[in-house]
Amino acid sequence: MTTVERSHFAFDNTYARELTGLYEPWRANVVADPRLLAFNDELADELGLDSAFLRSPDGVAVLVGNVVPDGAEPIAQAYSGHQFGGFSPRLGDGRALLLGELIDVRGRRRDIHLKGSGRTPFARGGDGKAAIGPMLREFIMGEAMHALGVPTTRALAVVATGESIARESLLPGAVLARVASSHLRVGTFQFAATTHDNDLLKRLADYAIARHYPEVAGADNPYLSFYERVVDAQAALIARWMNLGFIHGVMNTDNMTISGETIDYGPCAFMDAFNPETVFSSIDHQGRYAYGNQPMIGQWNLARLAEAIVTLFDDDTDTAVKLATDVLVSFTERFHTYWLAGMRAKLGFDGVAEGDVEIVNDLLALLHSERVDFTSFFRTLSRSLRGDSSRLDALFANRMGLLAWMPRWRSRLGADDAAVAERMDAVNPMYVPRNHLVEEALAAGTHGDLSVMSNLLEVLSDPYSERAGLERWAEPAPIEYTEGYATFCGT
Ligand code: AMP
Ligand code: MG
């Protein structure tokens, strides 16, 4: 094994240093034939990393886990999780490693994490591996969310391992190098709570405060303020998802971050025709993580976080529970406020007016009953302000409801139609990673043709500006495709 010159990375591994008890030091599997499939130059620049080096064989050896760069301290992080409602006290990184932390060019601390890098002490029955398709999916979805302005983890690279891995069929394996503002999850706190080591729990909370919410350190009750900040960050995040028609698909507590970044793009998807019951995950039989359930599940997960850290809120249990409950309950109002502000912006409304919620809710009921494509609707609506209603009309088989709703919407707008349309287009994406486009990119990528994915990424990198020649990327999938669509979890 070679070592890599220190100059390539300046790791500073606070998690490993400060949170003994919440990880196992570990090494990635060495793979025989690594090949770089996808690389994120923009993110590498942001991290102050040398793209030319990372794309070279020595760099790829680092990205796949074959070589531990100088300064890295690979660890498998421990966490628990409520999965589909049931508690698993010991999950943890079963097939992933935190390589270390870097300070990016803007001074932000970022985790560099490998996923699919082999079995760890947390692997349970799993093989520790990942297939190319799901890792490319994570790359695409993360970049799309980033370009849409949604807090998210991002992929730095996907490297094919040259190995075949056993799923329903044999699939080519890959390792994803992922970047996050941290990998602290609700499940990390749940794990700390299971140890009954209050000092460890406190250290974790102090660590999370220092890393994500340093401004609460001086508050009267820093741990309660910390909890409030997490509740607020998740309310804001889930509101963004709802505004965009994004379905995470597996909102287990181990997949909910403390930072408020979207993490773990498994069975996620953007909804086509508006329907709150939409579920894409093939393993979500009950529809627990359906589009319309996401706010409620977010709050449920935050209740689990409160349970894990409630002892830090007050020495008196009743007082502590009361404090936690008040913050938890505030999720509903916070979410609603973020969500409504987002919907107002989507509809081009300025300021706040009585009756906005009704206009929004009646619209959503209409989109639901007419099975209208959620993303297309808002762009065709702004287009109608520019004098072309043909695309809007084409979305509705029956226009009665639309005809009744339009004047209510119109009467709420300012005088300058062009300005309203422009504002709307700045928040309503033209291009989202539609399921059929993602699948097409993954199928080609799995067979070695990365050009389809790179075209898609190019389109998604600027989602709000309509460009000639990209009509294909804006179109909904055929309805038969949408209704039979399932994504597969964590393979
Ligand atoms: P996920 O729902 O994909 O976030 O994963 C839930 C848990 O299962 C985490 O602890 C993962 O590390 C673990 N896991 C998922 N897939 C594998 C695998 N192939 N091998 C080992 N652990 C896995
Ligand atoms: Mg996960």
SS3 199: helix
Q: What is the DSSP string of 345-390?
A: HHHT--S--TTHHHHHHHHHHHHHHTT-BHHHHHHHHHHHHTT--H
Distance CA 99, CA 336 (A): 38
CA–CA distance from 159 to each of 16, 146, 174 (Å)? 25, 21, 5
Please report which ligand is nearest the Cα atom of 94: 1
DSSP element (H, E) containing 76: strand 75-77
Q: What is the DSSP string of 203-237?
A: HHHHHHHHHH-GGGTTSSSHHHHHHHHHHHHHHHH
pLDDT, one tens digit per residue, over 272-327 is 999 999 998 989 999 999 999 999 999 999 999 999 999 999 999 999 999 999 99
Q: Is the pLDDT of residue 3 over 70?
A: no
Distance CA 273, CA 110 (A): 36
Please name which of 329, 283, 301, 299 lies closest in space to residue 85, comparing C-alpha atoms.
301
CA of 444 to the centre of ligand 2 (A): 26
CA of 471 to the centre of ligand 1 (A): 37
CA of 81 to the centre of ligand 1 (A): 11
pLDDT, one tens digit per residue, over 342-364 is 999 999 999 999 999 999 999 99
> What is this structure's pTM?
0.97
CA of 89 to the centre of ligand 1 (A): 14
Number of H helices, E strands in the chain: 19, 11
Q: What are phi and psi of 207, to 5 degrees?
A: -65, -45
Q: Whose CA is nearest to atom 2 of ligand 1?
A: 490
Distance CA 300, CA 288 (A): 12
Please report which ligand is nearest the Cα atom of 153: 2
pLDDT, one tens digit per residue, over 420-476 is 999 999 999 999 999 999 999 999 999 999 999 999 999 999 999 999 999 999 999
Of 111, 254, 264, 272, catalytic:
254
Find the residues whose C-beta lies inside 6 A of ligand 1.
Answer: 91-96, 122-123, 126-129, 250, 254-255, 264, 266, 490
**Which atom of ligand 1 is nearest the CA belonging to 254?**
4
**Which atom of ligand 1 is nearest the CA belonging to 489?**
3
Distance CA 173, CA 118 (A): 11
Whether residue 254 lies in the annotated active site:
yes
Probe target for ligand 1 pocket from 26, 90, 95, 191, with the most ligand atoms within 8 Å of CB? 95
**Which atom of ligand 1 is nearest the CA belonging to 264?**
4
